[in-house]
């Protein structure tokens, strides 16, 4: 099937939009997840942590921590989605699973690199343990899934 | 008309502020010090300076290096914020020539803060004995604390950090992370330490809930101990330290994480002591002295705090244990400042923080 230049431009804009949505949602999800790790740690140290304080902290982090997640998430998802696409054409595994797998591994590699380069031992407190690191990496995988879902042929119709 | 007069008045005001002479002069006593961390005065007027990279230097009052010793400290580990930290000349030095040094011991995977004593004699450090090792070991090379002060009863307060990745442990009374501990100069535990007989508490603990304490002084006039500690992004604190108290970290803090995330929802929490002064954004306080010299009469009783990130010497005027004003000095140097001490001559001595650090002497401006 031949595509017109107009269709190609439309498709690029759609992909760009899908990438923006995926990255934003992944970063926001990552922010919510890291808030839970911090709050659970604090809750273990105090008599009570009122629900209002809990929710306010999540809201605060969504505004204040999400930009940090975006800085990590944008290159991770970009590279992971490209890698997933290349692998898809060679190994023939589902595009969705490849994108999610590459994003998960990519995010873990990014955390490793950041923690080796940053002056502090661990930049994101939630990633001090394996469970927290995996939880954050799963947010990147969710972002990849959102992108694939938004750009699949069914949605391109 | 007002369009001309207001800018003119502002310019005059700026000129008068700029032209105002500084009330002090700064003299470089010594330079080429490799990440100097602390200084202490010997009774004969010489100074001891530690370099974080592991050397202990003796300087004459004129700044001449009269000894340069690679301290043979057991398990010394030099990396990032770790290495040779504080040197303290205890009151009994004249009798036994014994000094105390805090330093980081271990390796990259398992390290902690250690305290050792040694005999400083004939410009050599001998008879080195490890007196205390903070527990547990941690990974990474950040937040060790390491400052010391001697109390009138001879005991030593030694500050410790939370190890950065272990911040919740600052609330765990069973270990030394994020605590101030009190020891005798021989490393033994004083019998009147606040938690000495409490099960689940490390007997050395004097206070808990600290992040990274890098300045501590004792004020004999008011019988108070003051310490400051680094907050994360914001929330640097000046605290009045009392035995057995909890200073809140990481539950109660005015700072947030470097990533922008909240460390805790609480700025205050019942049962946790509040700071008497705090800095947001952070200045990274790294040394402190209580000025009692005679060269600057109007500064007597003031606290002086060196700031790394803030690149200034903070003068805090204290009245009845409260900070009533703050003044920034030495901003013209634009240097990270590591430590400050009151000299026996009444001058203030300051260490800058770099690979070619300097020892500066602050004197009143010539008349």
Contact B90, B187 (CB under 8 A): no
CA atoms within 13 A on the CB side of B304: 26
- The single-letter DSSP state of residue B167 is G
* Per-residue pLDDT band at A2 (split at 50, 70, 90): low
DSSP letters for A93-142 = --HHHHHHHHHHHHHHHHHHHHHHHSSSS-SSGGGGSHHHHHHHHHHHHH
Determine, for residues A120 and B142 on separate chains, whether the beta-carbon distance falls below 8 Å.
Answer: yes
Question: B256 to chain A, minimum CA–CA distance in Å?
Answer: 10
| Alpha carbon distance B36, B360 (integer Å) | 12
Strand partners, B249: none
CA B335, chain centre distance (Å): 17
Q: What is the pLDDT of residues B208-262, one digit of tens each?
A: 999 999 999 999 999 999 999 999 999 999 999 999 999 999 999 999 999 999 9
Report residue A100 CA to chain centroid gap. Answer: 10
Reduce the secondary structure of B209-243 to three states and give it as a string.
Answer: CCCEEEEEEEECCCCEEEEEECCCECCEEEEEECC
Higher pLDDT, residue B64 or A91 = B64
Q: What pLDDT is attached to residue B19?
A: 42
Residues of B classed as catalytic: 143
Mean of per-residue pLDDT scores for chain B: 94
Q: Is the pLDDT at B8 greater than 70, yes or no?
A: no
Scanning every residue of chain A, which has its alpha carbon at the shortest distance from the alpha carbon of B80? Answer: A119
A28 chain-B contacts, CB cut-off 8 A: none
Q: How many residues does chain A have?
A: 157
Nearest to A43 by CA among A31, A29, A57, A32: A57
Q: Give B85-139 pLDDT, tens digit per residue.
A: 999 999 999 999 999 999 999 999 999 999 999 999 999 999 999 999 999 999 9
A91 min Cα distance to partner chain B (Å)? 38
pLDDT band at residue B16 using 50, 70 and 90 as cut-offs = very low
Query: Which residues does chain B have within 8 Å of residue A53's beta carbon, measured at their own beta carbons?
Result: 265-266
Which residues of A lie closer than 8 Å to B, measured between beta carbons?
31, 34-35, 38-39, 41-42, 44-46, 49, 53-54, 56-57, 60-61, 64-65, 67-68, 119-125, 128
What B305-308 contacts at long range (C-beta under 8 Å, 24+ apart), as own/partner pairs, is B305/B215, B305/B228, B305/B238, B305/B340, B306/B215, B306/B337, B306/B338, B306/B339, B306/B340, B306/B350, B306/B351, B307/B283, B307/B336, B307/B337, B308/B283, B308/B284, B308/B336, B308/B337, B308/B338, B308/B353
- Chain A: closest CA distance from residue B112 (Å): 14
Tell me, what's the pLDDT at A152?
85
pLDDT at A92 (0 to 100): 79
Candidates A120, A123, A128: best to mutate against B (most CBs of B within 10 A) is: A120
In terms of CA atoms, which chain A residue is nearest residue B250? A42
Question: What residues of chain B lie within 8 A of the CB of A42, using their CB?
Answer: 168, 250-251, 263-266
Asked, as a colleague might, if the bond just before B250 is cis with ω within 30 of 0, I would say yes
Q: Is the pLDDT score of A144 beyond 90?
A: yes
Average pLDDT, rounded, for chain A: 93
User: What is the model's pLDDT at position A127?
Assistant: 97
Q: Compute the CA torsion angle B138, B139, B140, B146 (nearest 10 deg).
A: 20
- Neighboring chain A residues of B140 at a CB cutoff of 8 Å: 121-122
Chain B closest-CA separation from residue A4 CA (Å): 45
Contact A54 B260 (CB under 8 A): no
Looking only at the bridges linking them, the beta strands covering B156-160 and B145-150 are antiparallel
Q: Name the residue in chain B with its Cα closest to that of A120.
A: B142
Is residue B67 pLDDT above 90, yes or no?
yes
B289-330 residue pLDDT tens: 999 999 999 999 999 999 999 999 999 999 999 999 999 999
User: Confidence class of residue A12 from pLDDT cuts 50, 70 and 90?
Assistant: confident
Alpha-carbon B261 to chain mean position? 27
Does B165 sit within 8 Å of A128, measured CB to CB? yes
> How many Å lie between the alpha carbon of A156 and the closest alpha carbon of chain B?
37
pLDDT digits (tens, 9 = 90+) for B139-185: 999 999 999 999 999 999 999 999 999 999 999 999 999 999 999 99
pLDDT at B358: 98
CA distance from start to end of chain A: 14
pLDDT in tens, B168-177: 999 999 999 9
Nearest to B142 among A34, A60, A121 (CB): A121
* Contact across the interface for B261 and A65, Cβ inside 8 Å: yes
* 3-state secondary structure at position B62: coil
Chain B CB contacts of A64 under 8 Å are 256, 260-262
User: What does residue B153 show for φ and ψ, rounded to 5 degrees?
Assistant: -80, 5
**pLDDT of B5 above 80:** no
Which residues partner with B340 through β-bridges? B350
Question: Which of A41, A56, A124 minimises the CB distance to B168?
Answer: A41
Structure confidence by residue, pLDDT tens digits, A86-117: 999 888 789 999 999 999 999 999 999 999 99
Residue of B nearest to A41 (CA): B168
B253, B162 contact by CB (below 8 A)? no
Of B80, B140, B251, the CB nearest to A46: B251
Sort out which chain B residues have CB atoms less than 8 A from A128's CB and list them.
Answer: 165
- Is A73 within 8 Å of B269 (Cβ atoms)? no
Where in chain A are the domains?
5-156
Residue B367 has pLDDT above 80, yes or no: no
- What's the pLDDT score for residue B223? 96
DSSP letter for each residue of A39-55? HHHHHTTSS---HHHHH
What is the per-residue pLDDT for B332? 96
């Amino acid at each position: 099937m031949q595509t017109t230049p107009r269709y190609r431009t439309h498709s690029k804009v759609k992909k760009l939009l899908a990438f923006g949505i995926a990255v934003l949602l992944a970063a926001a999800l990552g922010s919510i997840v890291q808030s839970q790790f911090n709050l659970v740690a604090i809750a273990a140290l105090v008599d009570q942590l009122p629900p209002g304080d809990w929710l306010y902290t999540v809201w605060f982090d969504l505004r204040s921590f999400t930009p940090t997640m975006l800085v990590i998430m944008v290159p991770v998802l970009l590279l992971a989605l490209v890698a997933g696409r290349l692998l898809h054409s060679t190994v023939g595994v589902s595009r969705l699973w490849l994108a999610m797998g590459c994003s998960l591994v990519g995010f873990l590699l990014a955390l490793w690199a950041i923690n080796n380069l940053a002056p502090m031992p661990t930049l994101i407190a939630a990633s001090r343990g394996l469970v927290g690191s995996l939880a954050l990496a799963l947010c990147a995988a969710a972002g990849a899934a959102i992108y694939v879902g938004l750009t699949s042929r069914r949605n391109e119709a | 008309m007002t369009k001309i007069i207001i800018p003119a008045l502002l310019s005059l005001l700026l000129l008068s502020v700029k032209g105002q002479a500084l009330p002090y002069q700064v003299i470089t006593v010594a330079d080429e010090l490799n990440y100097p961390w602390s200084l202490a005065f010997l009774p004969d007027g010489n100074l001891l300076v530690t370099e974080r990279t592991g050397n202990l230097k003796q300087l004459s009052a004129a700044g001449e290096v009269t000894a340069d010793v690679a301290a043979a400290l057991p398990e010394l580990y030099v990396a990032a914020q770790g290495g040779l930290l504080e040197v303290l000349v205890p009151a009994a030095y004249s009798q036994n020539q014994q000094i105390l040094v805090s330093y980081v011991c271990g390796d990259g995977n398992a390290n902690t803060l250690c305290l050792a004593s040694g005999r400083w004699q004939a410009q050599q450090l001998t008879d080195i004995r490890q007196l205390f090792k903070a527990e547990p070991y941690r990974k990474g090379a950040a937040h060790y604390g390491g400052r010391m002060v001697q109390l009138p009863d001879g005991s030593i307060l030694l500050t410790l950090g939370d190890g950065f990745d272990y911040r919740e442990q600052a609330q765990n009374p069973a270990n030394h992370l994020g605590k101030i501990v009190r020891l005798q100069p021989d490393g033994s535990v004083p019998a009147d330490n606040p938690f000495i007989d409490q099960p689940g508490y490390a007997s050395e603990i004097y206070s808990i809930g600290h992040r990274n304490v890098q300045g501590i002084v004792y004020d004999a006039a008011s019988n108070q101990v003051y310490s400051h500690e680094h907050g994360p992004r914001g929330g640097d604190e000046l605290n009045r330290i009392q035995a057995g108290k909890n200073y809140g970290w990481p539950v109660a803090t005015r700072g947030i994480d470097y990533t922008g995330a909240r460390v805790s929802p609480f700025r205050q929490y019942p049962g946790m002591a509040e700071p008497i002064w705090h800095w947001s954004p952070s200045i990274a306080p790294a040394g402190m002295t209580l000025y009692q010299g005679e060269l600057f009469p109007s500064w007597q009783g003031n606290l002086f705090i060196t700031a790394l990130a803030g690149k200034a010497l903070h003068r805090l005027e204290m009245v009845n244990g409260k900070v009533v004003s703050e003044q920034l000095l030495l901003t013209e140097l634009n240097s990270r400042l590591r430590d400050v001490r009151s000299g026996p001559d009444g001058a203030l001595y300051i260490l800058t923080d770099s690979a070619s650090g300097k020892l500066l002497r602050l004197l009143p401006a010539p008349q």
